[in-house]
Every structure is written in structure tokens, then in C-alpha cells.
Amino acid sequence: MLYGRTTLSKFIIEEQRKLAGGAELIALVNDIQTACKYIASAVARGALTGAAGPTGIVNVQGEDQKRLDLIANDIMLRSCEWGGYLAGMASEELEAPWPIPAQYPRGRYLLVFDPLDGSSNLDVNVTVGTIFSVLRAPDGVTDPRPEDFLQPGTEQVCAGYALYGPAAMIVLTLGTGVHGFTLEPEIGAYILTHPNLAIAADTHEFAVNASNQRFWEPPVKRYVEECVAGKTGPRAKDFNMRWIASMVAEVHRILMRGGLFMYPKDTKDPQRPGRLRLLYEANPMAMLIEQAGGAASTGRGRILEVTPTALHQRVPVILGSKSEVARLERYHAEYDRGDVAFSSPLFNERSLFGAALSN
Ligand code: F6P
């Protein structure tokens, strides 16, 4: 019996009442949830309509665009531009910010999003999602320039993602915990199913694209090597590894049952300090993870405190269970200090590690 359960719309209104927040953010989240319903429907029909296929275009990030990337981008823009709550939007799929069309009023917020994260998985029907972040427009700004979006993640007023998987979901935070809503397709409403999500401090599961290991920095090699060594290694416990190659699905797993996810700094492409984008991937996910009691770091500091310098800036990402993120930060600090030499049998090279390998 769903009647009487809390819908996302009701939740946002009650939450904003508690926070004495304005109606504009409520209305904006409503527009975002409408967009996510359209995208969920387009993704579900992708193979039937041919929209899961490639466009033959390479986007501003140098990635192959799928038709659904463009459809999802368009749905987000059209669903959120008209309401009068936004001064501007920025998307993974667009090089420059999207100006609000002249016929619509301007509002006080900025919306930044990745319309379809994990879209390289569309042809194999794996869970993908939309990641979004809401910032305040600087005072008096009605036509934001790229630099107006360059705010640290600590300034986010709302962050979340929609998941298009076996069930469609929205998971979001307004800075007061993390809450998950599942789309009930028959009535077309997101219902609160996962209130107050919390991430356990410890875990025995980690996720990383291990094919990049030769490009990683020594502290990351050390961490993974110790995990892989399992019970017989310095951690004295067995670890499990996962890699879906869809950040929304990985973060969702961590919010559900803990774990560590990382796309760390590597030397694969010297122009890129990481793979994931700060403003519309790392920052919203970092806010969610911290709000659920986890931690999110570049390895050398809190992601949310990174000062952005470009709209599509990339950043190393290490997030999830607090004690694992702290361990990785410690390994980076020891490496940066140039502590005692450590020789890695697995990677057959010398790297600089100091502290004892166990705890
Ligand atoms: O940034 C897009 C993304 O698809 C993420 O969702 C995912 O974590 C990562 O890229 C996968 O990268 P790779 O293909 O290198 O495993």
C-alpha cells in the first residue's frame, strides 16, 4: 500500500520547511525529478528506439557520444530552463554554460549536471544515471559566465543522482542527510524507500579500474596491493573487488553497503590529473558520501575544498568508507614526505613508503 507514503515532492517541501528554505529550490528539485522520469523512460526504451547507439560525434571531453547522451542533455535543459529558478546551467555535454532562453525569468540558482553518467555501458544494459549539483548564482548574476560556476563543492545547496537500473531511483541531499527514493512506475512518483543512508566506516570491498595500475602513484599501488594480498597480507583480511565502470552505480553500491571507490591520479595522460570531472561528478558524489558519514578525497585533501579552475576540470577521486579513505590519505602523505623505501614485489619497482604496512 503506497498511499500515504512520502513522495519526493512531499519530502522536499517538508525538508525546506524545517530548513526555512525558499520555494524555488523545491520547484527546481521538482523539475529535476520530472527530467529524470523522462530520461528513465528514454533509457528503458533505448534498444527499441536505437537511442542507445552512437552518434559518431566525440563530445567536449573527447568521449564518444551516444544518442541517449544528447537526449538526456536536452531533457535536462528543457525541463529546468523555464521555471525561473535558475540563472544558468552547465553540462558535461556542453563546452560553455547554457544561457536561460530570453523568454524565461532568471532565478538565483545554478544547475550543473552530467546527463548520462556511465553511458559507455548503454549497449550492455548496465545501470547508468544522471548526476546533479545545485549552487547559488553569485549576487546579481543573471547571465553567468563559466567562472561563476567555479565554486568549491562546500557551496553546493543540493546534490544527487538519478539511477536508471532495475529500479529507477533518485538519491539526494539538501545538506541534512542522504535519502533514496524509488520510482513507482504505476503512479509515476518517487517514493521514499531509503531514508538516512549511512556508510559503515570499515569495509572489505574496493572498486578501481585495475587496468590502469601501471599508471598509478605508489600510494595507490601500495593500497591495492595490500588489499589483494588479503588474509596473508598486512591487512590480514580478504577483500573483494568490483568495477562497473559507471560511477553512479558504484556510488550507489557504497551508499547501500559500504566500500571504497577510486579513480585516482594517474600518468596515463599527463594533461589529466584524474578521469572524473570535479563540478558534476566528484563534487555532488562527495557531498552525498560525506552526508552519509563517509569521506571523499583527492588523496591529498577533501574533494569538496578543491577550488575549481575550469568548468570541465578533472580531479582524482577516492571516496567511501571513512577509514579506508583515511588510510589512502595517509599513504599519500607518507609518500609525499619521502618516507622509508618500500619495495613492491607485485609491481616490481621501488617506491617510498614509511609506516608499517599493517594498521
Ligand atoms: O566519467 C564517466 C565514467 O563512465 C564513470 O561513470 C566511470 O566511473 C568511469 O568513467 C569509467 O572509466 P573507465 O572506462 O576508465 O573504467
Helix, strand, coil content of the chain in percent (nearest 5): 35, 25, 40
pLDDT-derived band at 20, boundaries 50, 70, 90: confident
Domain boundaries, the chain: 8-194, 205-337
The pLDDT of residue 359 is: 38
The pLDDT of residue 141 is: 94
The pLDDT of residue 349 is: 47
Question: In this structure, which amino acid lies at residue 25?
Answer: L
Domain 205-337 classification at class level: alpha beta
More confident residue, 344 or 210: 210
pLDDT-derived band at 340, boundaries 50, 70, 90: low
Please check the confidence at residue 150 and state whether its pLDDT lies above 50. yes
29: CA distance to ligand 1 center in Å?
A: 26
Residue with cell 568549491: 152
The pLDDT of residue 354 is: 37
DSSP output for 317-338: EEEESHHHHHHHHHHHHHHHHT
Please check the confidence at residue 63 and state whether its pLDDT lies above 90. no
pLDDT-derived band at 51, boundaries 50, 70, 90: confident
Name the nearest CA neighbour of 319 among 168, 179, 153, 130: 153
Grid coordinates of 292: 552519509
244: CA distance to ligand 1 center in Å?
A: 8
What is the rounded average pLDDT of the residues 155-168? 97
Please check the confidence at residue 343 and state whether its pLDDT lies above 60. no
Give tens-digit pLDDT for 234-256. 999 999 999 999 999 999 999 99
104: CA distance to ligand 1 center in Å?
A: 35
Please check the confidence at residue 347 and state whether its pLDDT lies above 60. no
DSSP-based three-state secondary structure for 189: strand
Q: For ligand 1, atom 8, which residue shows the shortest CA distance?
A: 247
142: CA distance to ligand 1 center in Å?
A: 33
Cα–Cα distance, 280 to 115 (Å, whole number): 9
Q: What is the largest CA-CA distance in the chain?
A: 66
Percentage of residues in the chain having pLDDT higher than 70:
94
Q: 8-194 with 205-337: one CATH topology? A: no
* Binding site membership of 245 for ligand 1 (Cβ less than 6 Å): yes
Q: In the predicted model, what is the mean pLDDT of the chain?
A: 92
Please check the confidence at residue 210 and state whether its pLDDT lies above 60. yes
* Binding site membership of 276 for ligand 1 (Cβ less than 6 Å): yes
What is the rounded average pLDDT of the residues 47-65? 79
Cα–Cα distance, 193 to 246 (Å, whole number): 22
More confident residue, 358 or 158: 158
The pLDDT of residue 62 is: 76
Contacts of 345 (CB under 8 A, 6+ apart): none
Residue 349: C-alpha distances to residues 48, 178, 218, 270, 345 (Å): 50, 42, 9, 21, 7
> Domain 8-194 adopts which CATH fold?
Fructose-1,6-Bisphosphatase; Chain A, domain 1 (3.30.540)
Please check the confidence at residue 355 and state whether its pLDDT lies above 60. no
Grid coordinates of 231: 588474509
Q: For ligand 1, atom 3, which residue shows the shortest CA distance?
A: 118
Contacts of 14 (CB under 8 A, 6+ apart): 6
pTM for this predicted structure: 0.93
Please check the confidence at residue 350 and state whether its pLDDT lies above 60. no
Give tens-digit pLDDT for 297-336. 999 999 999 999 999 999 999 999 999 999 999 999 999 9
Ligand 1 atom nearest residue 281's Cα: 1
pLDDT-derived band at 3, boundaries 50, 70, 90: confident
**Any idea which of 91-100, 137-146, 217-226, 349-358 has the lowest mean pLDDT?**
349-358
What is the rounded average pLDDT of the residues 64-88? 95
Ligand 1 atom nearest residue 275's Cα: 1
